[in-house]
Each structure stands twice: as structure tokens, then as C-alpha cells.
């Protein structure tokens, strides 16, 4: 049995972290494609994108495979139909501007942006594409197949209001508050830059979070005369606000900009890549991760859609009081619609139900094919830019359909299926 008294640490990074800049650009391109498909006669089910972004000093490279609506294509001088790279570059510049980069070494206006997207491989597409007539069925023989093999995990617990592990929840909260204040221009915090990292260590007793034992924050700042002490004086009120009712230990260790000044940040300070912060995106290391990144992918890619469904299922198990803690794994084979396995672990916290009962109830309640997931969670929408920072989970469902996987509307059906089973 795992020990119940321990210290656990998770980290988060801000929207201006180089890797998160890349995630944001990739997801804004996903949104652009979905938005254009919705505005035209394009079939939303035919959208395909796997977009990778690299950013460094005043340079952005966007590569990957796509299937685009006609409105994002153009005819070149040779009469060939090619991708309208200007639309892609504009989406990238808007993302960089919104994050706040107007530095000499990385500026939304002046950064050179290379677009190296190409058409999706026919070999990959054949495993996913099915006829329009069969997309409403649940048959594994006729339904849309998974875009790749892979394993995806979902997790939920009762440690925080959003059913997320406490260390990653509070690490995100620190950076969210600082970012909001920076963008509002609130006093000296407006002198902070977009690039930042946080880390929170929490002591657990009897498997419950009881106090913060260490806080690490490294944040970019504009004024080169600021030292660590000055940065702490500006940021500490926001850190304490983020902790809410969770006590900060009297002997808590604080490391605020421990290496000194942090003026050069973002892609000018360090190169960024899409998909390098997958633990920040999920549960801060408290739960397993299947390995696949989310950002830059359309929802035929089960790396993204099935991870969202796994979180949705785990959260609904906990919200329905079937367990206090739940991990769910879904596994897929490329080109095959239904998962090859569904695994549930309630970590000994099940409330008069077994893992086997919950696994059976999930299969009976939800269509876990890529088509079924996309329909159930209504994922064919331009809702992904906002997922790129501060985690894909533990967020509030939006009126625009964003974060639909955070809803807790499945509990009654799960309980009924368990009772009938």
C-alpha cells in the first residue's frame, strides 16, 4: 500500500513560456481550420490537422499535416492549389500578440514565420476516413477509426473544487492570477513579462493536502534593476491569494527568481516546441500520462479526444460519489473505432462499487469510438486556443462549448447502468 504521509510537487508554466507559445500557435491553427470549416460547406468531420510549432529568437516554424477547407487554400502562379500560408501566419501573429510578446528578440510583428504544412498522408487517412452514411453508427466495422494507436489516462480526486490534484491546481492558479494582473496593468505587476514558471510542494497527511512546504516562482520582468527580493514583494500577494484556504507552512521555503534577474525570456531566451509540457497539461505527475501531446491536433487524434473523454469519465465517477479518487485508461489501435481496453482504478476509495462494475457501466453508457467521443463532448469546434495554457483539465466549461469534458452530467446514467448490471 502506498504511504499516506508525503510531500508531492507539481509545476506549471505561463502562456509566455516558449513551449506554451508553441502550443498556443498550434492550437490557434486548429481553431482557424475548424472556424473556416464551419463558415463554409466543408464537412467538419473531414478536418485533419497535426500541427507542430518551433519558436526561437524572432523565428517561428510551423510544420505538420493537414486537410483544409477550400477557404484556406489558394492557387499559385503555376495554377496549383496550395495552402494559404498568409492565413496561417496571421493566426500565429495574433497568438503571439495576445500573449504579450513585443520584445526585440521576439515580436509578433517582426518574427519571421515559416509555414511548412503539407497534406495528410493517405496511408494515415485510410484508417480514419469512413463514409458519411456510416458515421452515426456505433459499429467498429463502419465507424471512424482512431487516428493512431495509443493509451490515454483520465484522473479526478476530491482535493480541490475542480477535482484536480492540489499541487498542479495551485501551481496553475499562481500563474493565472499573475497573468491576469499583468494584462490589466495593475501597478508594479504590469512590469512582469509573459514568461514564467511556478512550482508548489504540498505536504499530505492521511493522503489529504494539509499545507504548502515550498513555493518556487521564476518570472520574467521588464526592469533590469529588479532583484529577487523586489520580484517577491510584487508577486507574493498574488501567490498567497492563489493558495486560498490551503495553509502555507510557517517554515515554507520560498524561491522567487532564485538565479537573479530574468529579463530575457520567451523564445528569445530558450527555444520552444509544441507538446513538451504534457505533464503541465494534465495532472502534474499525480496520475499517469499516455505520452501523446494534445495541442495542434484535431479530434480524430485520440491522443487528444480520448484523453478528454477519460478525464470526463473519471470526473463523473468522483462527482457521482462512486469513489473519492479515480484513474481511467483508454487504449486504441489505429483505424479501429472502439477501444481495445477500458481500465478503471478507484485506489481503494470505491463507494460500494467495484472497478469491474464501473468499467462495464462506462461501456454501456458512452460510445467510446472517436465519432462517439466527438459527438458526446461536441468537440468539432474552434475551442482549443484557450486550452494551451494553465492545463487542459480543471477548467470551467464555457458557453462556446470549451472544456465540455469538465461537465459532471453523466453520474445518473453511470449509477443506473451499475444498478442494471
DSSP 139-174: -TTTSPPBSS-EEEEEEEESSSTTS--HHHHHHHHH
Tell me if 353 sits within 8 A of 322, measured CB to CB: yes
* Residue 13: closest CA among 142, 185, 200: 200
Q: What are the catalytic residues?
A: 17, 19-20, 52, 65, 197, 262, 270-271, 276-277, 297, 301, 303
Nearest to 173 by CA among 242, 238, 219, 240: 242
Residues linked to residue 103 through DSSP beta bridges, in sequence order:
106
What whole-number distance in Å separates Cα of residue 314 and Cα of residue 248?
A: 29
Q: Strand 341-345: give its sheet, edge to edge.
A: 150-157, 325-332, 341-345
Check: CB of residue 11 under 8 Å from CB of residue 2: no
Task: Return the sign of the alpha-carbon dihedral for residues 318, 321, 324, 329.
Answer: negative
Q: How far apart are CA 414 and CA 394, in angstroms?
A: 21
Amino acid at each position: 500500500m502506498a504511504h499516506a504521509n508525503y510531500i508531492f510537487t507539481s509545476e506549471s508554466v505561463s502562456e509566455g513560456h516558449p513551449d506554451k507559445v508553441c502550443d498556443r500557435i498550434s492550437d490557434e491553427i486548429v481553431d482557424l481550420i475548424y472556424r473556416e470549416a464551419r463558415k463554409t460547406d466543408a464537412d467538419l468531420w473531414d478536418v485533419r490537422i497535426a500541427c507542430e510549432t518551433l519558436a526561437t529568437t524572432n523565428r517561428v516554424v510551423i510544420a505538420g499535416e493537414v486537410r483544409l477547407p477550400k477557404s484556406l487554400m489558394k492557387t499559385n502562379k503555376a495554377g496549383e492549389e496550395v495552402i494559404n500560408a498568409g492565413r496561417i501566419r496571421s493566426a500565429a501573429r495574433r497568438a503571439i500578440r495576445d500573449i504579450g510578446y513585443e520584445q526585440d528578440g521576439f515580436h509578433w510583428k517582426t518574427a519571421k514565420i515559416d509555414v511548412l504544412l503539407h497534406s495528410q498522408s493517405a496511408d494515415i487517412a485510410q484508417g480514419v476516413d469512413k463514409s458519411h452514411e456510416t458515421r452515426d453508427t456505433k459499429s467498429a466495422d463502419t465507424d471512424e477509426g482512431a487516428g493512431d494507436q495509443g493509451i490515454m489516462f483520465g484522473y479526478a480526486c476530491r482535493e480541490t473544487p475542480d477535482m484536480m490534484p492540489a499541487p498542479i491546481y495551485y501551481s496553475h492558479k499562481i500563474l493565472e492570477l499573475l497573468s491576469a494582473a499583468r494584462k490589466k496593468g495593475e501597478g508594479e505587476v504590469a512590469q512582469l513579462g509573459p514568461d514564467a514558471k511556478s512550482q508548489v510542494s504540498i505536504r499530505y497527511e492521511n493522503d489529504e493536502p494539509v499545507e504548502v512546504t515550498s513555493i518556487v516562482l521564476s518570472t520574467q520582468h521588464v526592469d533590469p534593476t529588479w532583484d529577487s527580493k523586489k520580484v517577491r514583494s510584487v508577486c507574493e500577494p498574488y501567490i498567497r491569494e492563489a493558495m486560498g484556504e490551503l495553509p502555507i507552512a510557517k517554515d515554507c521555503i520560498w524561491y522567487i527568481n532564485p538565479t537573479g534577474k530574468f529579463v530575457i525570456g520567451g523564445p528569445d531566451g530558450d527555444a520552444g516546441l509544441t507538446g513538451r509540457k504534457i505533464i503541465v497539461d494534465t495532472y502534474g505527475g499525480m496520475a499517469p500520462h499516455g505520452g501523446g501531446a494534445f495541442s495542434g491536433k484535431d479530434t480524430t487524434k485520440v491522443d487528444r479526444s480520448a484523453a478528454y473523454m477519460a478525464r470526463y469519465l473519471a470526473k463523473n465517477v468522483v462527482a457521482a460519489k462512486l469513489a473519492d479518487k479515480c484513474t481511467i485508461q483508454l487504449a486504441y489501435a489505429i483505424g479501429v473505432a472502439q477501444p481495445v481496453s477500458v481500465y478503471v482504478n478507484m485506489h481503494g476509495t470505491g463507494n460500494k462499487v467495484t472497478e469491474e462494475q464501473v468499467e462495464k457501466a462506462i461501456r454501456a453508457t458512452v460510445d467510446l469510438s472517436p465519432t462517439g467521443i466527438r459527438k458526446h463532448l461536441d468537440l468539432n469546434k474552434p475551442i482549443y486556443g484557450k486550452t494551451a495554457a494553465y492545463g487542459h483539465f480543471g477548467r470551467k466549461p464555457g458557453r462556446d462549448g470549451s472544456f465540455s469534458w469538465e461537465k459532471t452530467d453523466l453520474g445518473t446514467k453511470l449509477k443506473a447502468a451499475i444498478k442494471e448490471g
